[in-house]
């Protein structure tokens, strides 16, 4: 570890200067580091993360039952076979990432407890300079790099999103957000309300139900769920035939991706039929005469948000056993003993768990500037959701929301490595993205298409995000199947790229 002090500008070759700095040691940062090491072996690079270890999301979320909601054949990297059950626990995902770090020799390239506060691009030096606070000592270090690879995730890691409900301060019990789960929280024999209806609420409720007196899942509106066995018959069959794990991974991935592609198409073409099918899938798992229309019939179209997979139908078992129940209503206010609902009913609780989502963080809360002038990301235009107009030598990994996040980590990894090699071939130290002449008056749109995908945290933060425009270059499609074809064929010499 280095001992350099504040504002000493590092020189090339020093411990604080790198060709590439990767920000974040979550699943995106580790995957990107693997690709960089493999595809650009000459680049000196370092991964910086503010936490004490790798894993990001999977390290910080500690609520009971934390697990993936997509399968690990596609949430896992394309280069590292997954051999466990398709839906994995947080711990299994961390173990998998740990193996990647070991296999790829990444350990020596990662520095933890490094929180990036500021990043300034100098046009004169063609360098990024980062002000980094060490979270244990409070010391500030100055790092520099030629290229910045942002893998900082999409939400504020400090605090989850909890709406500001009236009367919260009067509640005599405990209010807990799953993102900031208190160690040793005692919910045994307690009355618990879980607010929310997404994947977190659906995971949390059945995992604590057995120990609690009762768990009430309080939702404003219902969500689609897809119950199924936590197994992949194709992978199991291939394994029984002693097929190599690398092949099983690849074949199973292809099958899952094909099935998902077909499913998205059907869901878009026949939303009502798919909706009916999803609801019919859960009805038999609920008690006879259960009010499925109120609690499990969503108002949005299937695939507008990720459909939460419920392994082995555990959420529904809790409801059948009488340990968990659903309430679909709106919160009027908190009271001393619980929650008053708009319908007039009230719910008592010892603990309220707010599985109400995230605060979106635009690029890790880092203060970005160019030649010391602060950048307002809402004034920039995104290049395919991975670079920005006017921001040189920087790429951003925002994964997929509907398909597995990591599929995009691999695609962007290939793209950035190709771009870095291309810059070397041209002996360029800077790459810029700019609109073509004919695009100057292009209509600008919100970052994400609300008709395609509309989770709350994106809607709340739309005004802070970069803009989209017409034409493939300026779209952020969130469509793996389109990008899989387009990204490898991007012409790095087309007019929107300029090199110096
Ligand atoms: C509970 C939960 C379950 C999920 N399940 C799935 C799923 O099943 N499938 C799926 O596709 N997606 C899922 N997601 C979305 C998930 O966040 C991503 O799939 C993925 O794990 C994100 O990885 P990441 O590396 O991009 O970001 P993160 O995991 O958020 O990691 C980012 C890292 O960057 C670091 N960082 C951020 N800002 C700074 C800074 N300023 N300085 C230094 N370091 C910084 C953070 O400390 C963190 O370690 C889930 C999300 C949650 C919260």
Mutate to test the pocket of ligand 1, among 152, 159, 368, 403 (most ligand atoms within 8 A of CB): 152
CA-to-CA distance for 396 and 466, rounded, in angstroms?
12
Has residue 11 got a pLDDT over 70?
A: no
Task: List the residue whose alpha carbon is closest to atom 27 of ligand 1.
Answer: 153
pLDDT of residue 5: 39
- Tokens linked to 355: 């599985």
pLDDT of residue 1: 38
- Structural domains in the chain, sorted by start: 4-157+359-499 (3.50.50.60), 162-231+282-356 (3.50.50.60)
Average of per-residue pLDDT across 109-138? 97
The neighbour count for residue 139, using CB atoms within 10 Å, is 13
Has residue 3 got a pLDDT over 80?
A: no
Has residue 266 got a pLDDT over 80?
A: yes
Average of per-residue pLDDT across 258-283? 92
CA-to-CA distance for 163 and 437, rounded, in angstroms?
44
Average of per-residue pLDDT across 488-495? 96
Rg (CA), the chain: 24
Atom of ligand 1 nearest to the CA of 68: 8
Give buried/exposed letters for 72-100 (b at 16+ CB in 10 A, else e): bbbbbbbbbbbebbbbbebebbbebbeeb
Task: Provide the CB-side half-sphere exposure for 165 (13 A, CA).
Answer: 22
The answer, yes or no, to whether any atom of ligand 1 lies below 6 A from the CB of 360, is no
**43 C-alpha to ligand 1 centroid (Å):** 25
Atom of ligand 1 nearest to the CA of 132: 42
CA-to-CA distance for 456 and 453, rounded, in angstroms?
10
The answer to pTM > 0.75 is yes
The neighbour count for residue 499, using CB atoms within 10 Å, is 14
What sign results for the dihedral spanned by CA atoms 177, 181, 184, 187? Answer: positive
Assign 457 a pLDDT band (cuts: 50, 70, 90): confident
pLDDT of residue 453: 66
**435 C-alpha to ligand 1 centroid (Å):** 30
Digit-coded pLDDT (tens) for 20-51:
999 999 999 999 999 999 999 999 999 999 99
Task: Tell which residue, 497, 438, 495, has the closest CA to residue 470.
Answer: 438
DSSP classification of residue 13: T
> Greater confidence, 234 or 2?
234
Digit-coded pLDDT (tens) for 312-329:
888 898 899 999 999 999
CA-to-CA distance for 497 and 494, rounded, in angstroms?
6
CA-to-CA distance for 486 and 384, rounded, in angstroms?
10
pLDDT of residue 451: 67
The answer, yes or no, to whether any atom of ligand 1 lies below 6 A from the CB of 111, is no
């Amino acid at each position: 570890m280095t001992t350099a002090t504040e504002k000493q500008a590092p020189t090339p070759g020093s411990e604080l200067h790198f060709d590439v700095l990767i920000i974040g040691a979550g699943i995106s940062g580790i995957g990107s580091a693997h690709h960089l090491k493999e595809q650009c072996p000459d680049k000196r690079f370092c991964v910086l993360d503010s936490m004490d270890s790798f894993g990001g999301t999977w390290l910080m979320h500690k609520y009971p039952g934390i697990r993936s909601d997509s399968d690990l054949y596609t949430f896992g990297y394309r280069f590292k076979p997954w051999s466990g059950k398709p839906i994995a626990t947080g711990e299994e995902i961390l173990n998998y990432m740990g193996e990647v770090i070991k296999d790829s020799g990444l350990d020596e390239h990662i520095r933890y407890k490094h929180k990036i506060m500021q990043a300034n691009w100098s046009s004169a030096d063609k360098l990024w300079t980062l002000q980094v606070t060490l979270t244990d000592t409070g010391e500030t270090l100055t790092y520099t790099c030629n290229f910045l690879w942002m893998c900082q995730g999409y939400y504020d890691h400090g605090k989850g999103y909890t709406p500001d409900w009236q009367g919260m301060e009067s509640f005599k019990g405990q209010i807990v957000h799953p993102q900031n789960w208190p160690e040793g929280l005692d919910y045994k024999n307690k009355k618990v309300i879980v607010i929310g209806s997404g994947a977190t609420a659906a995971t949390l409720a059945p995992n604590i139900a057995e120990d609690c007196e009762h768990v009430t899942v309080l939702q404003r509106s219902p969500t689609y769920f897809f119950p199924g066995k936590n197994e992949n018959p194709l992978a199991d069959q291939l394994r029984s035939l002693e097929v190599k794990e690398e092949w099983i991974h690849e074949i199973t991935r292809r099958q899952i991706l094909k099935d998902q592609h077909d499913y998205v198409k059907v869901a878009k073409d026949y939303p009502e039929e798919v909706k009916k099918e999803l609801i019919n899938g859960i009805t038999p798992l609920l008690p006879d005469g259960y009010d499925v229309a109120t609690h499990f019939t969503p108002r949005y179209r299937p695939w507008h948000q990720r459909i939460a997979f419920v392994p082995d139908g555990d959420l529904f078992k809790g409801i059948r056993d009488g340990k968990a129940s659903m309430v679909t209503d709106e919160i009027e206010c908190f009271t001393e003993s619980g929650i008053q609902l708009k319908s007039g009913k009230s719910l008592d609780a010892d603990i309220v768990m707010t599985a109400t989502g995230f605060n979106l963080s635009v690029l890790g809360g880092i203060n970005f500037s160019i030649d010391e002038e602060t950048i307002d990301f809402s004034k920039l235009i995104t290049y395919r959701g991975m670079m920005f107009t006017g921001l040189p030598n920087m790429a951003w990994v925002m994964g997929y929301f509907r398909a597995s996040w990591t599929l995009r980590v691999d695609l962007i990894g290939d793209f950035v490595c190709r771009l870095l090699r291309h810059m070397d071939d041209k002996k360029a130290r800077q790459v810029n993205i700019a609109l073509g002449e004919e695009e100057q008056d292009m209509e600008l749109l919100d970052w994400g298409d609300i008709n395609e995908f509309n989770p709350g945290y994106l809607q709340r933060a739309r005004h802070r995000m970069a803009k989209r425009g017409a034409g493939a270059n300026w779209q952020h499609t969130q469509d793996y199947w389109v990008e899989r074809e387009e990204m490898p064929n991007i012409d790095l010499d087309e007019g929107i790229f300029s090199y110096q």
